[in-house]
Chains A and B, each alone.
Chain A
Amino acid sequence: MNSAHDLGGHMGFGPVVPEENEPIFHADWEKKVLAINVAAGAMGAWTIDGIRHARESLPPAQYLSSSYYQIWLAALDKVLVGHGFLSEEELKSGIPGSARREPKRVLKGEEVPAVLRRGFPYERKATAPARFKLGDAVRTIVMHPQHHTRLPRYARGKQGVIERITGCHVFPDTGAHGAPETAQWLYTVVFTGPELWGRDADPASSVSIEAWESYLEPA
């Protein structure tokens, strides 16, 4: 969806201001949000793209005026209610009520090191050969879907070159919305600065995205 999260190329935010000696967390509640995000995700009810969609579909003004952990918290509320684990009333009151959904699994403390170390690999066995090969000229499609996508607006309808073939990876656009998992070939596609940004762009710059096969057409 075209929303506030799709930030590449936007102007007016001012310079990047790094914080000197930045702590890992700025408050204890941020630690909890990180940990809840990981532990609740491990229940297996939504995919990484499902919760990304919950974040990016926050109202744009809220998205842009929230810290990143605030965005995570708001999205957690949404998915926990949306998947029936909690009710709005429970979130408001803090008092457990009757909302109930059986998690596929509950991550136990002693399992954490192994689960984090293993991660959740996204590569799948290919069922068809890759359509493109290294060096192929491709053009990204133009689309403005209401649903989740990982093709940023600034890179739609642009000509680039296949630079890497990453493998066959879980396709986010449908999986975010609860459809059965599918996978597509994933490529690194590199564009020149002027192709993306026009004649004033730095000709000695280039930008790549990771693009699933259905985002691409032969150029």
Chain B
Amino acid sequence: MSGHDHHHHHDHDHDHDNHFTPIEARVKALESLLVEKGYVDPAALDAIVETYETRVGPRNGARVVAKAWSDPAYAERLKQDGTAAVAELGYGGRGGEHIVACFNTPEEHNLIVCTLCSCYPWPVLGLPPVWYKSPPYRAKAVIDPRGTLADFGVTLPAGQRIRVWDSTAETRFIVIPMRPEGTEGWSEDELAEIVTRDSMIGVGLPSAVSARK
């Protein structure tokens, strides 16, 4: 830190509307070319962003898990046909046309990854976090799954096997964590609140303690 730092915070030239970083400029140029040539509708671009910013995200998956915890018949349907069961709640479509639910059990914990790219169950979890798409996770999850969980501060009980699902096709996986102790009698809404995104990837575990204070 230099003693002159207080001068530098006025140096905002790069924030002016007509000054873009190289990648911002590239994307703007690409967008206007595509729009001017009539290949893409600007309203479609806005609608796509709006969908993934406001409508499709991990709260959808949390509803699926909470319902599976509350309704054994639903859990069974989810096991048999994940795509149809998530569609019952209104979810499905792009990036999740074929959904498989991977139920954690005391004997086996599930972890999802895409070693070849970034496949992720969009309709139920939204867009993937950066770490999910990045080399450290994609490289390590399949060869050292327990070490990968340790990076998230998660240690499985001794004797619990670990199963990794590499998403090499258009099948998309969602982990159904085990319902935590101490949640007896909770409503589906209350349960959904403790279902984290990470627990549906398999790098986290939901906890009743983490819930409402």
Contact = CB atoms under 8 A, between A and B. Distances in A.
B37 A204 contact: no
A61 to B, nearest CB: 13
Contact of A113 (B46, B47, B129, B140): B47
Given A8-B166, A43-B39, A91-B29, A35 B48 contact: yes
Nearest to A170: B170
A166 interface: yes
Interface string B177-212: 000000000000000000000100001000000000
B40 A186 contact: no
Given A91-B30, A107-B41, A152-B168, A16 B136 contact: yes
Interface string A17-32: 1110010111111011
B26 A210 contact: no
- Looking at chain A's contact residues, is the secondary structure mostly helix, strand, loop, or mixed? mixed
Contacts of B52: 24, 34
A133 interface: no
Contact of A13 (B29, B37, B139): B139
Interface of B: 23-24, 26-34, 36-49, 51-53, 56-57, 92-98, 100, 115-118, 123, 126-127, 129-131, 133-146, 148, 151-152, 159-171, 198, 203
* 8 cross-chain pairs, A with B, having the tightest CB-CB distances, nearest first: A109-B43, A94-B29, A210-B169, A8-B115, A112-B47, A119-B93, A35-B45, A10-B139
26 contacts: A7-B138, A8-B138, A13-B136, A18-B152, A28-B24, A29-B23, A39-B40, A40-B34, A64-B135, A73-B27, A86-B33, A90-B33, A94-B29, A108-B43, A109-B46, A110-B47, A111-B44, A112-B44, A116-B48, A119-B95, A121-B97, A164-B100, A188-B165, A202-B144, A210-B166, A210-B169
